[in-house]
Structure 1
Amino acid sequence: MASSDKNKVDYKLLGRVFAMAKPYRSVFITAATLAVLLAPISTARPYLIKVMVDDYIFASDIPGLSRMAMVLVGLLFLDSLCRYWFIYSTNLLGQSVIRDLRVKVFRHITKLRLTYFDRTPIGTSTTRTINDIEAINTVFSQGSITIIADLLTLVTVLGVMFYTSWKLTLICLTTMPFLILASYIFKEKVKKSYQRVRSHISAMNAFLQERISGMRIVQIFNSEREEMGKFKTINRDYTQANLDSILYYAVFFPVVEIISAASLGLMVWWGAQDALKASGVTLGALIAFPVYLDMLFRPIRTVANNFNNLQMGLVASERVFNLIDQDDRIEDQGEIKPEKLKGHIEFEKVHFAYQLPEYVLKDISFEVKPGETLAIVGSTGSGKSTIINILNRFYEIQKGRIKVDGTPIEDFDLEAYRKRIAIVLQDVFLFSGSVMENITLRDDRFSREEVVNAAKLIGAHEFIEKLPGGYDYKVMERGATLSMGQRQLISFVRALVFDPDILILDEATSSIDPETESVIQYAIEKLIARRTSIIIAHRLSTIRHANNIMVLSRGEVQEFGPHESLLQIEDGKYRNLYEMQFLQVAEGE
């Protein structure tokens, strides 16, 4: 039953993979047609050899022999040409399909909720997008169509062999059960080893991506030896999985050669006796049959291997389709596409949990009027960043309602809605590329003049001009060659260039030195001017200008109001936080 179910799943997957080849129907038809043509063309060659020996050499018909030789050469040329186009067509088809599939997978990943990335290692997603999709190519280049071509050749060769000499054919087929058994065992063993290989590749990619990204932490805590030990274990398991598959190949092919040699020996022994007795087997048939045997055994050898390639391609496709079928996409059914937002934000009794029933936000209600600035403070884990995440619809709330300009945010077109919001994070992420590309994110709508004007307004133009190449300075991965303050300024320029209606600053000054903080503070004042802003900050000195301050504790609003009002509350949380920071500054001086 399980085997039957598995076959159904395989056929379903195969159908889904082939459905992606519809745009390349002409290439598929070409490959399939060539697969059909190759079988008779290949099989005709040894038959022509038999005819040349029996009908022309013994008859001393030199002119006829010459004509047959020319036909044989032409047939060889045609076979080579067809085989070239067959190999090219199947690989062209496979590469075209996986090219489209990569785009589809990447587009899908960019639309997934952050919950997917919270629970899925980046290396796993990379494996799905690169290694697994590449393996799907084998379904076309070394799998289904090639298997069909081999099976057609096998049937055609057997038919011609029986037509040429049914006695010799039966003798040759006496070893066939052993070959079929060996092929079946080989197929099953290699399939399991390939599954282990794919699993270990995914684990290795995830491990390497995580450790290389976190190499600074690895070196800071001097844990290179421990991480090396873990990598050696993963690497050893991966190597062993590959060695197991190699072992099966190393055993299978010599066994096939032995069975093939035994079949050839039986054929020569029986056929020679029959030919000498002139009892049915001709000398031409005896010469042609070794070629037939090679053509018979070659597809059987390759069918087992190609079937494994097909199975592994289907295993990889199952993983890729499981990713595509992830239902973690944000529902984007809104039809409102705002060109401009006033920036009126309302949270009405909002409850949110990353994993139910553990609510991170509980009954959150507040309002930010157009053009106002709201500062959010609270201890780590109080839910400050979560408010930003749900406002941007990175996650969906379980209860309550969030409105912008009086409209539930679910009614907005997601892309249009997010274009009107900009976030500046504490940990600024910069891509490999120029400063200009990191500011505009390669969006052609923004000119260099707009970027320069924004940088001057923020106060970042001077430092950018001092970089080698200025705005064309090549930023290393994650901005490793720039200071924290420089990366932060670039992110501010990016936010200003996109001209958002709602600006969110998530602890943008928490890792900045006091000297740079004044520059950053000036940039913040320019950024929040005339637009609705939400600022999350640990340094309370940076949020005095906010219209209102919201104090969070364990996902609940504890206090809400202007700076001066909150300082008047006896034993208030904000007052205690402010006095604590003021005291720390005083002691530092």
Structure 2
Amino acid sequence: MSAAAPARPANAPAQRGHGPMGSMGMPGEKSVNFRGSSRRLLHVLRPERAWLGVIVVLGVASVALVVTGPWLLGRATDVIFDGVLGRQLPAGVSQAQAVEGLRAQGQDQLADLVSGTGAVPGVGIDFAALRGILVLVLVVYVGSFLFGWLQARLTTGVVQRTVYTMREEVEAKLSRLPLSYFDRQQRGEVLSRVTNDIDNVGQTMQQTLSQLITSVLTVVGVLVMMFWISPLLALVALVTVPVSVVVTAQIAKRSKPQFVAQWAATGRLNAHIEEMYTGHALVKVFGRQREAVETFRVQNDELYDASFKAQFISGTIMPAMGFLANLNYVIVAVVGGLRVASGAISLGDVQAFIQYSRQFTQPLTQIASMVNLLQSGVASAERVFELLDAQEQSPDPAVPAQVPAPVRGRVAFEDVSFRYDDETPLIEHLSLVAEPGQTIAIVGPTGAGKTTLVNLLMRFYEVGSGRITLDGVDTATLTRDDLRSQIGMVLQDTWLFGGTIAANITYGADDVTPEQMVAAAEATHVDRFVRTLPDGYETVIDDEGGNVSAGEKQLLTIARAFLADPAILVLDEATSSVDTRTEVLVQQAMGVLRAGRTSFVIAHRLSTIRDADVILVMEHGSIVEQGNHADLLEAGGAYARLYASQFAAAVASAD
């Protein structure tokens, strides 16, 4: 199928943000279901559980080596301290004799200190033992670095594959969502979920996954070493842990709603920016720059306030934890010093314990600071999950019907009823038949249901009751792809993507030769202006089609539809952007190309559909008149009044 992006029907619920100065309504915010969303985010990682197991093993190895380091350095400190102390004791006596001598001299405190060391009287520092310990420490820290580096490398792969899969799921989900979903959502809001929020989830996992595993393992490993060295000092060091937990929980509780507000405000601001960018010309034409800037300022202020509060509140975790860590350090140093003086513990053990206390509070501080990232990441994940959980269009039949071969193009609406809103009737019990090769023109005032008929035919919306058949086959029993592959569609709102003119023309057709493309371009009068361009059909246009005129864009979409060679053509005010001379040429081309095809033409300019086989006049979702141009004018009914009003307007304009 060759089609521009479907336009919102006039009777559909109003879209927010699909046009310049669209609705700036702010969606309601709800608290993050942190536990449920976190559990679901972990479920997303399940395909990577084998690699996660390897990451955990590497983390255990890295942490085990890191935890061993302070203890080995403590042994090095003991070697140095014992050597210094031993040189100060008289040579030729044992340690016990030296201690007894010190007590006899009334130096009981020094005697207690010596008794708690491995000092040998008269013997200095054992540099061979010291060298061996330092070499071992170097090996331990190098090994820890290598294990940590490999862990980080694997974590990056896990996170990127997970985010890649998430993007694929979101892309697939967007293709399964009904048109009504996009009618209710701001385009910028959807884009923010697909881009910003997924990126934020990836950054959160990247920065927390490996670090969280390492931090938890470090806490466990350090705790074991602390109790092994001194249970008393370990209990002293743990005094600040409950306080840290309470402080972190209180800060997180206050920062969580701010992160929700931050990402909701980001989505609203992106939606507004996208609207203002795509409709900047219209904003200037109607003099709404100040309003647009003011709306931007208000929403930017909201984002600033939410971001400032979220970052400031969560940012207090680090200084609070730092204060508690320093308090813990002072307590451990004082108690440890007293224990060394009493000979109950060696100086190296105290040094190692102080390092362990730092290592113990550091991962706790890191875990606490990760709450900042996790709150932000889970808030974004929930927004992505909301998109993934949105109600999808009804699935295609499990055993779809076969498309008639060949497709003749007989379309029948049989007692069709449809409502966008259950409380507001639109189309009620409508029946019509389009015979193969006929051109059916649909006219009527805005909101009459003209575009709705086309949306029902394309199955952008599902009928409420009745059915639509293609060559006698209920379209609901066909897959959407099979149905839409038989329909070429050109809308009033043109859609082009960034690429060459040739790529845009051949977008809806497969295995097209250059000759076929040029033939279609010539038939729709595209070739005449393409030949004037420096690069011809290889001219690159941007995704807004800004370097071609509105009429030329419309001609390109018409050429795209014709090249697809569909059995059914849908033209929704397809010549509205074409100048009068080109319109005549396009009408002639369409007359030739419509031969043998069933065509539905939605038109406001009645002069463009005089040659239609059947003209349907719709009002309030019902067909009030049908016939050809001459018969309807002669009848003097609704069509005649519409035609007369346009003719009178044209005369008044000329006068």
| Other-structure match for 2:284 | 219
Q: How far apart are the structure 1 equivalents of 2:632 and 2:590? A: 23
Residue pairs, 1:517-536, within 5 angstroms: 517-536=583-602
SS at match of 1:347: strand
Q: 1:54 aligns with which of 64, 78, 82?
A: 78
Unaligned stretches of 5+ residues in structure 1: 1-5
Unaligned stretches of 5+ residues in structure 2: 1-30, 84-124
What's the offset of the Cα at 1:584? 4.5
The answer to whether the aligner puts 1:273 opposite 2:350 as a matched pair is: no
The answer to whether the aligner puts 1:132 opposite 2:156 as a matched pair is: no
Q: 1:568 aligns with which of 634, 647, 650?
A: 634
Q: How far apart are the structure 1 equivalents of 2:137 and 2:514? A: 68
The answer to whether the aligner puts 1:45 opposite 2:75 as a matched pair is: no
Greater helix share, structure number = 1
Residue pairs, 1:430-509, within 5 angstroms: 430-441=496-507, 445-509=511-575
Letter in 2 for 1:214: G
Return the TM-score normalized by structure 2. Answer: 0.84
Q: 2:411 aligns with which of 334, 337, 345?
A: 345
| Other-structure match for 1:287 | 351
Q: Point out the more displaced range, 357-366 or 491-500.
A: 357-366
Letter in 1 for 2:461: Y
Evaluate the alpha carbon distance shift between residue 419 and residue 294 of structure 1 in structure 2; reply closer, same or farther with a 3 A threshold.
Answer: same
What's the offset of the Cα at 1:403? 0.7
SS at match of 2:544: helix
Q: 1:360 aligns with which of 417, 426, 431?
A: 426
Evaluate the alpha carbon distance shift between residue 249 and residue 378 of structure 1 in structure 2; reply closer, same or farther with a 3 A threshold.
Answer: closer
Residue pairs, 1:139-154, within 5 angstroms: 140-143=205-208, 146-154=211-219
The answer to whether the aligner puts 1:35 opposite 2:59 as a matched pair is: yes
Q: 1:35·1:146 contact (CA, 8 Å) conserved in 2?
A: no
Q: 1:147·1:307 contact (CA, 8 Å) conserved in 2?
A: no
| Count of aligned pairs between the two proteins | 581
Q: 1:328 aligns with which of 383, 392, 395?
A: 392
Q: How far apart are the structure 1 equivalents of 2:576 and 2:375? A: 52
Q: 2:166 aligns with which of 101, 122, 126?
A: 101
Root-mean-square deviation (Å): 2.2
Q: How far apart are the structure 1 equivalents of 2:175 and 2:315? A: 43
Letter in 1 for 2:128: P
Letter in 1 for 2:63: A
Q: How far apart are the structure 1 equivalents of 2:277 and 2:647? A: 40
Q: How far apart are the structure 2 equivalents of 1:250 and 1:11? A: 22
Evaluate the alpha carbon distance shift between residue 16 and residue 183 of structure 1 in structure 2; reply closer, same or farther with a 3 A threshold.
Answer: closer
- For residues 155-186 of structure 1, give each alpha carbon's deviation from its aligned partner in whole angstroms, at most 9, with x where no partner exists: 21011011112222233233333323222223
Q: 2:152·2:210 contact (CA, 8 Å) conserved in 1?
A: no
Q: Point out the more displaced range, 238-247 or 395-404.
A: 238-247
Letter in 1 for 2:414: E
Evaluate the alpha carbon distance shift between residue 258 and residue 307 of structure 1 in structure 2; reply closer, same or farther with a 3 A threshold.
Answer: closer
Evaluate the alpha carbon distance shift between residue 523 and residue 480 of structure 1 in structure 2; reply closer, same or farther with a 3 A threshold.
Answer: farther
Q: How far apart are the structure 1 equivalents of 2:537 and 2:462? A: 38
SS at match of 2:548: coil
SS at match of 1:152: helix
Q: How far apart are the structure 2 equivalents of 1:462 and 1:260? A: 77
Q: How far apart are the structure 1 equivalents of 2:642 and 2:314? A: 69
What's the offset of the Cα at 1:56? 6.9
Q: 1:419·1:500 contact (CA, 8 Å) conserved in 2?
A: yes
What's the offset of the Cα at 1:57? 5.9
Q: 1:379 aligns with which of 445, 469, 481?
A: 445
- For residues 433-478 of structure 1, give each alpha carbon's deviation from its aligned partner in whole angstroms, at most 9, with x where no partner exists: 2111211228663333321121122222121121231111121232
Q: How far apart are the structure 2 equivalents of 1:411 and 1:306? A: 51
What's the offset of the Cα at 1:47? 0.8
Q: 1:154·1:299 contact (CA, 8 Å) conserved in 2?
A: yes
Q: How far apart are the structure 1 equivalents of 2:241 and 2:479? A: 64
Q: How far apart are the structure 1 equivalents of 2:407 and 2:651? A: 42
Q: 2:314·2:369 contact (CA, 8 Å) conserved in 1?
A: no
SS at match of 1:200: helix
SS at match of 1:568: helix
- For residues 268-322 of structure 1, give each alpha carbon's deviation from its aligned partner in whole angstroms, at most 9, with x where no partner exists: 22222221221x1211012222211221111111111223433433332222122
| Other-structure match for 1:369 | 435
Q: How far apart are the structure 1 equivalents of 2:155 and 2:255? A: 23
SS at match of 1:500: coil
- For residues 485-538 of structure 1, give each alpha carbon's deviation from its aligned partner in whole angstroms, at most 9, with x where no partner exists: 211111111001111100011111233321221122123223312211111112
Return the TM-score normalized by structure 1. Answer: 0.93
Q: How far apart are the structure 1 equivalents of 2:484 and 2:72? A: 72
Q: Point out the more displaced range, 325-334 or 414-423.
A: 325-334
Q: How far apart are the structure 2 equivalents of 1:425 and 1:275? A: 86
| Other-structure match for 1:3 | none
Identity fraction in percent: 30
- For residues 177-200 of structure 1, give each alpha carbon's deviation from its aligned partner in whole angstroms, at most 9, with x where no partner exists: 332322222322332322221121
